[in-house]
Structure 1
Amino acid sequence: MTALPDWMRPPREEGWYSEDLDMLVEAPRHTELIDGALVFNMSPQRRWHSRLVTALTNALTAQAPDGFEVDRELTVVLDRRNRPEPDVLVSTERIPDQASYYEAASVVLVVEVVSPESEHRDRMVKPQKYAEAGIGHYWRIENEDGAPAIHVYERDELTNGYVATGIYRDRLDVPVPFPVKIDLAALLR
C-alpha cells in the first residue's frame, strides 16, 4: 500500500472546510465535501448520465425566467463542512464566471442524476443535507430502462425535510421553482 499524498491529509482534526476545496488543485474533478470528508467521484462518466445532465440543463435554461441562473457541476456551500456538487442547480443569484460554488441561500433547486456509485448519497445523504440547508426543491432522476424518471420533492418548513410531490416519466410539468414543462422522452433523443 502506498502512502497518501500530503494534499489528501485534512488540515485539521475535524476534517476539511468548504473553503479548503478551492485550494486542493491536486484533487480530482468533481470532488465534494460531505461532513468534512472529501468524496472523490472517480468513476468514468456514463453517456446516459452526461447526455441527460446536458439536455436538462439546456431545457431548464431555455425556460428559466429572468432572475434565475441554471448551472451544472458546480458545488453548493451548505455549511462549513458540506459542499456537495449537484448535477444541475438553479439559483436566484448570478455568480462571477471564475467562481466555483454557490451559497445555499441562493439555490432554489438541486438535481441529482443517480449513478450506481452515487445511489446512497443521491437518495439518502444529499437530500437531507439540501433540505437542512433550506433549498426548496430537490429532483432525483433515476434511469428506468434507459428512460428518465424524475422524482420531485419540495421542502416542508415544519419538518425541515423533503416531501414527494410526484414522479414524472413521460412529461415533467411543475409550477415551482418556476413553471417547467419538459417532454422527458425527447431529452435523450
Structure 2
Amino acid sequence: MRQRLANHTIEDVLALPDDAPRVELRDGVLVVVPSPTIGHQNIGNLLWMWLRQHAPVDLTPATAVGVAINYRNSLEPDVVLLKRPVAADHHYFEAEQVMLAVEVVSPGTRRRDRLEKPADYADAGIPHYWRIEQNPVHVYAYDLVDGRYELAADSAEELIVAKPFDIRLRVRDITP
C-alpha cells in the first residue's frame, strides 16, 4: 500500500519503536524495506566480514543501519563502510560519515538499487557506491566524480580498486 501523506521526516523514523519494521524515507513517505533473502544476506554478510578483515583502522563496516540523506530522505544500504569513530548505539548515521554504500540487488529492488539509490547517495556526497548483482555474483564499483557516479571497476572474478582503500576482492570470497 502507498501512503497518502508525504510529510514524514527523519525525526519520525528515529522515533519508531525498536520492533517496527525497517523503513526508508523517500520524499517524506515511509517505505517498508522488504526482508532480504538468505542469498542476499549471505553476500552482504560475507562482504561485511571481508571488509572487517581488510579495511584500514579508520574505517568500520556495518549492516542493517540507516543513512540519513536529508530531513525527508533516508536509506538502509545492505553494507556500509563508516568513518570512525562510530557510536555503537546508533542505528542511523549522517551521510558525511559514510565512505561506501553497498546494495545487493534482488528482483524486487532492481530499479531502486540500479537507478534511484545511486542518485540519492551521489546527491548526499557519499564518495563510493557498489552494486552487487546476484546469479552470478558481479560487483560494480563507482566513484563520485563531479556529483555523479562513474564506474571505476567491475568484475565477476576479482574487483580491484584504489578507493576507498586499496582493494583486491575475489568475488568468490563473497559468493555463498
Confirm or deny a common fold (TM above 0.5): yes
SS in 2 for 1:127: helix
Cα distance in 2 between the residues matched to 1:58 and 1:174: 18
Question: Does structure 1 residue 93 correspond to structure 2 residue 84?
Answer: yes
Question: Does structure 1 residue 150 correspond to structure 2 residue 139?
Answer: yes
Name which one, 1 or 2, has greater alpha-carbon Rg: 1
Question: What CA deviation, in whole Å up to 9, does each residue of 1:70-110 have, x standing for no partner?
Answer: 11110001110111000001111333222111110111110
Identity %: 31
Question: Does structure 1 residue 135 correspond to structure 2 residue 122?
Answer: no
C-alpha contact 1:60 1:180 (8 A) present in aligned 2: no
Unmatched 5+ stretches in structure 2: none
Unmatched 5+ stretches in structure 1: none
Give the superposition deviation at 1:162: 0.6
Question: Does structure 1 residue 117 correspond to structure 2 residue 119?
Answer: no
Give the superposition deviation at 1:29: 2.9
Cα distance in 1 between the residues matched to 2:142 and 2:173: 22
Whose RCO is larger (CA < 8 A, sep 6+)? 2
Q: Quote the residue 1:62 is aligned against.
A: 53
Cα distance in 2 between the residues matched to 1:168 and 1:56: 15
| Aligned equivalent of 1:164, options 133, 143, 151 | 151
Give the superposition deviation at 1:9: 7.4
Give the superposition deviation at 1:113: 0.3
Runs of 4+ with >4 A deviation: none
Query: What TM-score comes out, normalization by structure 1 length?
Result: 0.86
Letter in 2 for 1:61: R
| Aligned equivalent of 2:117, options 126, 143, 146 | 126
Query: What TM-score comes out, normalization by structure 2 length?
Result: 0.92
Question: Does structure 1 residue 185 correspond to structure 2 residue 172?
Answer: yes
| Aligned equivalent of 2:93, options 98, 102, 107 | 102
Q: 1:97 to 1:14 in 2, by over 3 A?
A: same
SS in 2 for 1:55: helix
Aligned CA RMSD, in angstroms, stands at 2.1
